[in-house]
Structure 1
Amino acid sequence: MTTTVTLALTPGEPAGIGPELCLQLAAEQRSAGLVAVASKPLLEARNRLLGLGITLQDWMPGTAAETAPGKLSVYHVDGLATTEAGKLDPANSAYVLDTLTVATRGCMEGLFDGMVTAPVHKGVINDAGIEFSGHTEFLQAMCGVERVVMMLATDELRVALVTTHLPLSEVPRAITPERLTQVTRILNQDLKRFFGVQQPRILVAGLNPHAGEGGHLGREELDIIEPTLESLRGEGMTLTGPLPADTLFTPHWLDNADVALAMYHDQGLPVLKFQGFGRAVNITLGLPIVRTSVDHGTALDLAGTGRADVGSLRQAVRVGEHMTRCQKGLN
């Protein structure tokens, strides 16, 4: 078994900062082999535009990926229509999804140990007439799993979500015993599998202010969350909560926990992004493969300027490598 981890790297939206972040990362020292699953002409064009001087080398399945600074292996994907930085083109949408498909299949077939994704632009993909709600749902469908969990992480804090991209008005109906059970089991299992946490300590937020205050500010905690957590404790999980979200994210609780589980997107992620925006990683749990991503968008206004910060992509690669090594027992 090789001790070098090989990660597929998808640059995302061609008009955004993803292609140049991949090139900037290739200039750095790294221990993982990176294979850009992308249009080689796109990377060549951005390489010339920014004068980065990266050597792009064709990669064939079964060969070693480049790890040397200044070099990047490329698994070419056809279908790119235009390469202009900062200018969206719906004609590129099928190509973007093809890169994700190639990378995902490569992971499932063992060509890659995991995949790291730069940001896509959901709006332009939908403008092309292709129904697309995001990386997470796309990978869930490709891998054929019933439930996935979004977790964002910095070196100091992990936050997972019970619900993700839902209108706030729909969140209470989505907090069901079944969903909460599935999400918590995946979170507990994958902290062990991918992060080496032997007995995960999970803080669980309530849905309502003051965690419902004994039913006076909502009954979801009494009727759904607490009974579900008690049942899961019977499976041996270490769960604390439901806790008021306004005090959960304090050292008193976080210093003795491995992850916080928030009920909805804007309950937990503002705290994490305030604490570590630009060096946080978006991780999809519940998949049979390793997948990490950046914590930011396509930043069309920065594309082609050379001013984009590679920090989140660097961290996504580092975490993807760590997850792979844990899964394979290489750490």
Structure 2
Amino acid sequence: MKGKIKIGITHGDINGIGYEIIFKTLADNRMLDFCTPVIYGSSKVAAYHRKTLNIANFSLNNIKEANEAHPKRVNIINCVDDEVRVELGKATKDGGTAAYMAIEKATNDLKDGNIDALVTAPIHKKNIQSDEFSFPGHTEYLEQKFSDNGSLMLLISDIMKVGVVTGHIPVTQVSNAINTDKIVDKLRILNHSLKNDFTIRKPKIAVLGLNPHAGDNGLIGKEEIDVIIPAIEKAKSLGIMALGPYPADGFFGSNNLSKFDAVLAMYHDQGLIPFKTLSFSNGVNFTAGLPVVRTSPDHGTAFEIAGQDKADPESFRQALYQAIDIYKSRNNNAEISKRPLRSYDISKMDDKLDVELPKEEPKQEDEA
């Protein structure tokens, strides 16, 4: 593997807490031991936030392209018009435009290999909407840009990993949006990500039901019988260890969580409410299934505290760490897969082995 990882960081909505959590994370010079950060944003907007937050002794290295990044500095690429206006705590057109311009430049650099991974600060999902960006969020935009095989919103922490079948859609549309093939696709992505991104050899995945009590055998809904159980069975036939469907309330209320490597929820709030309840301060949003690595903190723009020095940077810090770890994991697994398998001549091995191979038990005849 090459040297230090180059991490692109988009500034998010300029009226939110994006710059605050970026500054607080990168103010620790030890971060530069792990990666070379490249912020996609605006040096003018950054200076405004730094002054508002009264942050001293923190400088940015202005560069035009990612290949100019200084490995021992926090670098910034100007993507935004200098006339952009910052209005802390407000959802404005300028805020949405500035967020989009940073995302577009960063993802193009990611696609071209100019940066190794991407960490995105929070955007406002409504004011970013335009002719260029007509997506419910980062996940859908990145899927359209990088993948023909879909993606998975995966929330990760030390406590749990939770993916969702349906993402940013109204609850009234969830049932119609779920089908057997879609669940199998999400399980396939999740299973591969657990192996390749998190180095889990034999992932065990819990699948949640859609209805209360997982439908109670069809009494409270048929989706489990008609859609979810067939999906689980199909996934098993593909070698995916998927179990369920489990009632969501009982699953998270018991110790079942500790028995699985990940959970697949049917819709956004079913998975994210318990996740954020247990992991809000250090949770990370990871877009699994893409050929590139992208993470983000698991919270939003927090307009209500923007510019007040109240934002907790821990989730963003963990997003940065996870981007580094996942990138390394992928590269390590790619290197391993290239190595030829070594063959051994068992007849030439030392007879005095410490381990005795088990003997095959004789088969018993069936009773008549």
TM-score between the two structures when normalised by the length of structure 2: 0.84
Would you say the 8 A contact 2:14–2:98 is kept in 1? no
- In structure 2, what is the equivalent of residue 151 of structure 1? 154
* Structure 1 counterpart of 2:106, from 98, 103, 106: 103
- In structure 1, what is the equivalent of residue 74 of structure 2? 72
Would you say the 8 A contact 1:145–1:287 is kept in 2? no
Would you say the 8 A contact 1:17–1:303 is kept in 2? yes
- In structure 1, what is the equivalent of residue 26 of structure 2? 26
2:251 maps to amino acid: L
TM-score between the two structures when normalised by the length of structure 1: 0.93
Determine the C-alpha separation between the residues in 2 that align with 1:66 and 1:22. Answer: 17
- In structure 1, what is the equivalent of residue 239 of structure 2? 236
Deviation by residue 1:164-221 (Cα, 9 ceiling, x = unmatched): 1222221111110121111111111111121111211100001111111211222111
- In structure 2, what is the equivalent of residue 296 of structure 1? 299
Report the Cα offset of residue 86 of structure 1: 2.6
* Structure 2 counterpart of 1:58, from 56, 62, 85: 62
Report the Cα offset of residue 315 of structure 1: 0.8
Deviation by residue 1:243-279 (Cα, 9 ceiling, x = unmatched): 1112222453222211011111111211111101121
Report the Cα offset of residue 63 of structure 1: 4.2
- In structure 1, what is the equivalent of residue 352 of structure 2? none
Match status 1:197 vs 2:200: yes
Q: Where does the alignment leave 5 or more consecutive residues of structure 1 unmatched?
A: none
**What does residue range 216-295 of structure 1 map to in structure 2 within 5 Å?**
216-250=219-253, 252-295=255-298
- In structure 2, what is the equivalent of residue 83 of structure 1? 86
- In structure 1, what is the equivalent of residue 15 of structure 2? 15
Identity among equivalent positions (%) equals: 34
Name which one, 1 or 2, has greater alpha-carbon Rg: 2
Report the Cα offset of residue 316 of structure 1: 0.6
Determine the C-alpha separation between the residues in 1 that align with 2:235 and 2:328. Answer: 28
Report the Cα offset of residue 64 of structure 1: 4.8
Determine the C-alpha separation between the residues in 1 that align with 2:2 and 2:296. Answer: 24
Determine the C-alpha separation between the residues in 1 that align with 2:13 and 2:95. Answer: 8
Match status 1:118 vs 2:121: yes
Determine the C-alpha separation between the residues in 1 that align with 2:190 and 2:180. Answer: 15
Would you say the 8 A contact 1:202–1:260 is kept in 2? yes
2:67 maps to amino acid: G
Report the Cα offset of residue 100 of structure 1: 0.6
The alignment of Structure 1 onto Structure 2 pairs a total of residues equal to 328
- Three-state SS of the structure 2 residue aligned to 1:218 is coil
Determine the C-alpha separation between the residues in 2 that align with 1:87 and 1:229. Answer: 44
Would you say the 8 A contact 2:41–2:77 is kept in 1? yes
- In structure 2, what is the equivalent of residue 163 of structure 1? 166
Would you say the 8 A contact 2:37–2:74 is kept in 1? yes
Would you say the 8 A contact 1:23–1:43 is kept in 2? no
Determine the C-alpha separation between the residues in 2 that align with 1:155 and 1:54. Answer: 30
Determine the C-alpha separation between the residues in 2 that align with 1:322 and 1:136. Answer: 20
RMSD, aligned α-carbons: 2.0
Determine the C-alpha separation between the residues in 2 that align with 1:128 and 1:170. Answer: 24
Would you say the 8 A contact 1:20–1:43 is kept in 2? no
